[in-house]
Amino acid sequence: MRTSFALALVLTACGTNPAPVTQPTDAGSDAAPADRGPMVEDFVTRPIPGSTQRPGDPARGYRALVNEGYVTCGVPWSVFSRAFGAAGASQLPGREGRNAMLPYNFTAFRNRDGMEVVSANCLTCHAGALRGRLIVGLGNAQGDFTQDTGVLARASRAFVRTPEERAELDRWIERVETISDYTRTLTVGVNPADNLTAILIAHRDRDTLAWSPTPLLEPPPPVVVPVDVPPWWHMRRKNAMFYNASGRGDHARIMMTASALCTDSVAEARMIDSYFPDVRAYIASLQPPPWPFMTDTARASQGREVFNRVCSTCHGTYGEGGAYPNLLVGLREVGTDPTLALGASQFSQRFVDWYNRSYYGEAARIEPQQGYVAPPLDGVWATAPYLHNGAVPTLSTLLDSRERPRFWTRAFTSNDYDPDAVGWRFTSLDHGHAGEPDLARRSRIYDTTQPGYNNQGHTYGDALSPEERTAVIEYLKTL
C-alpha cells in the first residue's frame, strides 16, 4: 500500500479550490486586491448568505464519486498493472469492475480515446484513516506532499510498450511535472490544494479550458500555503465552501473544479458537471463519525453550558433545536495565520478573475474574504490537527494557546490518536526546520515559525479555568 499511496500523490489531480474575487458583496467594504499585498480589513464578522443548490441523488453521487473518471487523464491501465501488479484491493463498498481491485483512491475508466486509464480520485485527500478505519469524507491528515511528484511519474515510463501508451502517459506526466514545483509542502500532513488549483488555472485558456504547456497567467509563488483538508460533513451546514468562505453559488460546479488537472474543454467539463449535483448531494448527506470511547455525561453537560456561553455565538448550538450561524470571522478578530485569507495562492485576483469569467463562473463564484469561517464542530474529535493550516495537534492545546507546541512531530499513522488530549499524539521539539539537517526528519516537523504555518490566534479558550476547559472538551466529544 505504501507505493500505491505514493503513486496516488503523483496521480493526484486537483485542488478543489478554484480562484477568487476580493469583493465582499454583502459588507460593502473595499477589500484590498490580494496582489497589492497584505492589508487587513477592519474587523468584519458577518453571516455568509446561502445559495440555492441543484438537487441530486446521494446514492448515485456516491457511485459516481468512487467509479467515474472525472479526472480525465492518467496512467494507462496496462502500464499501471505492469508497474504495480495487484495494487491492493479497495477498502470501499460500491466499487465496480476493475475499481473493486484498486486501492480506494484510484479510479480506472475509459478516457476520451477509449483507452483504459487509472487516475487518483477525490478520496486521495478526502478520505482519512483513524484508528485503523478508513472514513470517507474525513480529510487525509497523513498525506505526504513534501516530495517531487514527478519522480514516480517519470519512473512509470519504464513500463510503456506501445506508442499509444506513451502518448497518454506523456500527457499526464507533463501535467504532473508542471504542477510539481508548486505543490510541495514543507511538512507531511498538510495539503497544497489551494496552490495546485492556481497553477492549473495559470495553464488553461479561460474561454476554452484548453491546456497550455506554457503559463498564460503569471504562476503563483511556489511557496505553498498549507491547509488541513476539512471534513466533508461540514457541507451539510455550510453556506459557502472553503475556509475563507470564497466558494459561492452552485457548490457542485465548484467541487468539479477539482478535476482541473485534465479537463481540457468546456464539453468535457459539461459532461462532468452533469453528475456533480449527485456528488454534492452525497457530500451534503454525510454525518460525522461518533466518538468511539466513553464520555462523562455529567461533565459534558457542564461543558455544554460553558460552550453555549463562550463559543456558541460563533460556532452555533448543537442537539435538538441547534442552529449554525454560518459566520465569517474577520482576521483581526480570530487572529489565526493570515496568509490564506490575505489572498495567497489561487485567491490572488488574477485567478479569481479567471475563475469567475470561465465556464465554472457561469454557475459559481469565488469571493475570497479576509477572515475565516467559524466551522461547525460536530465530529470535531476526528478532525485533528486543528485550525485551517493544521498548526495545532489537539483540542486541549487549541483551547489553551500557552500550551501549543512551537515545533512538533507525530508518528503519521492512523493509530497515534490521543483520546485524552483529543487529537494526534505529538512530541514537542526544541528546534524547527533550520535546526534539522536530516531531510526526511525535517519534513515530519511542523514548524510554526514558517510562513503560513503559524499557530497564533483563536485564544477564546485561554480564559477558561482548567475545569471548564476539560468540561468543554468533554462536551465537544459528544457533538
Residue ranges in contact with ligand HEC by CB under 6 A: 12-17, 70, 122, 124-126, 191, 193-194, 196, 227, 229-230, 232, 234-235, 238, 241-243, 255, 258-259, 279, 283, 310-311, 313-315, 329, 333-334, 336, 372, 374-375, 377, 380, 383, 386-388, 395, 398-399, 458, 460-461, 472
The residue among 395, 353, 384 whose CA lies nearest residue 446 is 384
| 140: region left, alpha or beta (phi > 0 left; psi from -120 to 50 alpha) | beta
Question: Distance (Å, rounded) from C-alpha 217 to C-alpha 349?
Answer: 11
Q: Kindly state the smallest distance separating residue 409's Cβ from ligand HEC, in Å.
A: 19
Q: Kindly state the smallest distance separating residue 474's Cβ from ligand HEC, in Å.
A: 11
Q: Kindly state the smallest distance separating residue 195's Cβ from ligand HEC, in Å.
A: 10
The residue among 363, 283, 286 whose CA lies nearest residue 61 is 283
Rank residues 153 and 196 by Cβ distance to ligand HEC and give the closer one. 196
Rank residues 277 and 436 by Cβ distance to ligand HEC and give the closer one. 277
Question: Distance (Å, rounded) from C-alpha 312 to C-alpha 306?
Answer: 9
Rank residues 160 and 261 by Cβ distance to ligand HEC and give the closer one. 261
Task: Specify the length of the chain in residues.
Answer: 479
Rank residues 83 and 422 by Cβ distance to ligand HEC and give the closer one. 422
Assess contact for 87 and 46: CB atoms under 8 A: no
Q: Kindly state the smallest distance separating residue 432's Cβ from ligand HEC, in Å.
A: 20
Neighbours of 313 (CB within 10 A): 13
Q: Kindly state the smallest distance separating residue 208's Cβ from ligand HEC, in Å.
A: 21
Rank residues 238 and 350 by Cβ distance to ligand HEC and give the closer one. 238
Rank residues 188 and 472 by Cβ distance to ligand HEC and give the closer one. 472
Q: Kindly state the smallest distance separating residue 95's Cβ from ligand HEC, in Å.
A: 16
Q: Kindly state the smallest distance separating residue 368's Cβ from ligand HEC, in Å.
A: 9
Where do we find the cell 453556506?
Answer: 239
Rank residues 79 and 395 by Cβ distance to ligand HEC and give the closer one. 395
Question: Distance (Å, rounded) from C-alpha 5 to C-alpha 125?
Answer: 11
The CA–CA distances, whole Å, from 390 to 42, 320, 424, 469 equal 25, 30, 11, 21
Assess contact for 257 and 216: CB atoms under 8 A: no
Q: Kindly state the smallest distance separating residue 436's Cβ from ligand HEC, in Å.
A: 25
Cis peptide before 219 (omega within 30 of 0): no
Please name the residues in contact with 319: beta carbons below 8 A apart, sequence gap of 6 or more: none
The residue among 55, 57, 71, 54 whose CA lies nearest residue 13 is 71
Neighbours of 197 (CB within 10 A): 29
Rank residues 199 and 472 by Cβ distance to ligand HEC and give the closer one. 472
Where do we find the cell 492589508?
Answer: 39
Q: Kindly state the smallest distance separating residue 93's Cβ from ligand HEC, in Å.
A: 19
Assess contact for 153 and 174: CB atoms under 8 A: no
Q: Kindly state the smallest distance separating residue 255's Cβ from ligand HEC, in Å.
A: 4
Rank residues 13 and 160 by Cβ distance to ligand HEC and give the closer one. 13
Where do we find the cell 489561487?
Answer: 346
Rank residues 12 and 90 by Cβ distance to ligand HEC and give the closer one. 12
Question: Distance (Å, rounded) from C-alpha 351 to C-alpha 146?
Answer: 24
The residue among 226, 188, 183, 186 whose CA lies nearest residue 202 is 183
Rank residues 328 and 445 by Cβ distance to ligand HEC and give the closer one. 328
Q: Kindly state the smallest distance separating residue 335's Cβ from ligand HEC, in Å.
A: 9
The CA–CA distances, whole Å, from 262 to 84, 115, 184, 209, 211 equal 23, 15, 20, 10, 8
